[in-house]
């Protein structure tokens, strides 16, 4: 058992990490899509091959994500990763990063539980987080209507808050930024993310986000993303000492 609400519990061929204040004495079945479906609590699945499941059960609202590889290597290794120790598993590292970010009151999902299951030299992993107040991604918002200058500044301020704490998001794009109806911006998917000293990497993160915005708005009206929008985003970022 670790300090605070963090608990690590052994399971068959692996281990489970959870926040006792959010999930009291969980069992491995909570990572099983079929089990939730049998309870009538599997609300929806999204992502490649149903990677992400939305759970609604007896007042709780969770998001269950199974780790899968992307790119060319996905066809060979799919959801298998080389095991080099429990603390280095994707699920445990992301759970602990999210826990730290929540302690810093950053707009990210609260981690509930994580697990890994070994198979020889490899492992598979899953992560459960609490669902955020919205599922509307920045990409979806832009597909519907242009954002105001204030909205773009809020997006930039959200990124700036991360960078002000040295939080390096490994794949910041228009699909893992959420925009709520009240204008609040949240950030998802901190797989491979980490905290580091501030530096040139911040500009690389922003450049990656810009490429994503150009891609998702490529076939949309020009007012969905232009230089004025980008300038507003950067202004919001700079207000939080990002740049």
| Catalytic entry in 32, 57, 79, 171 | 171
Distance separating alpha carbons of residues 6 and 21, to the nearest angstrom: 9
58 is catalytic: no
Which residues on adjacent β-strands are paired with residue 81? Answer: 123
Cα angle for residues 207, 209, 214 (degrees, 5° grid): 95
> What tokens appear for 133 in the block?
């107040």
Helix segments in 165-226, DSSP class H: 201-216
By residue count, the chain amounts to 243
The residue among 195, 224, 221, 201 whose CA lies nearest residue 212 is: 224
Return the number of other C-beta atoms located less than 10 Å from residue 130's C-beta. 17
Return the number of other C-beta atoms located less than 10 Å from residue 36's C-beta. 21
List, by residue number, the catalytic residues.
171
């Amino acid at each position: 058992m670790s300090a605070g609400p963090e608990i690590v519990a052994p399971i068959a061929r692996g281990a489970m990490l959870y926040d006792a204040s959010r999930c009291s004495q969980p069992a491995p079945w909570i990572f099983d899509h079929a089990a939730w479906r049998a309870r009538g609590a599997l609300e929806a699945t999204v992502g490649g091959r149903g990677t992400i499941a939305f759970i609604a059960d007896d007042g709780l609202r969770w998001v269950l994500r199974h780790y899968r590889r992307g790119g060319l290597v996905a066809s060979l290794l799919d959801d298998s990763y080389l095991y080099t120790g429990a603390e280095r598993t994707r699920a445990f590292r992301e759970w602990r990063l999210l826990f730290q970010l929540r302690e810093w009151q950053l707009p990210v999902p609260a981690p509930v539980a994580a697990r890994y299951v070994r198979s020889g030299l490899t492992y598979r992993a899953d992560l459960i987080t609490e669902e955020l107040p919205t599922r509307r991604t920045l990409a979806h918002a832009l597909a519907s209507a242009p954002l105001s200058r204030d909205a773009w500044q809020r997006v930039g301020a959200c990124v700036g808050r991360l960078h002000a704490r040295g939080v390096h998001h490994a794949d910041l794009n228009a699909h893992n930024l959420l925009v709520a109806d009240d204008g609040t911006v949240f950030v998802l998917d901190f797989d491979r993310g980490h905290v580091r000293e501030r530096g040139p990497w911040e500009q690389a993160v922003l450049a990656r986000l810009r490429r994503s915005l150009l891609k998702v708005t490529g076939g949309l009206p020009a007012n969905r993303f232009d230089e004025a929008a980008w300038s507003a985003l950067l202004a919001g970022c700079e207000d939080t000492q990002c740049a």
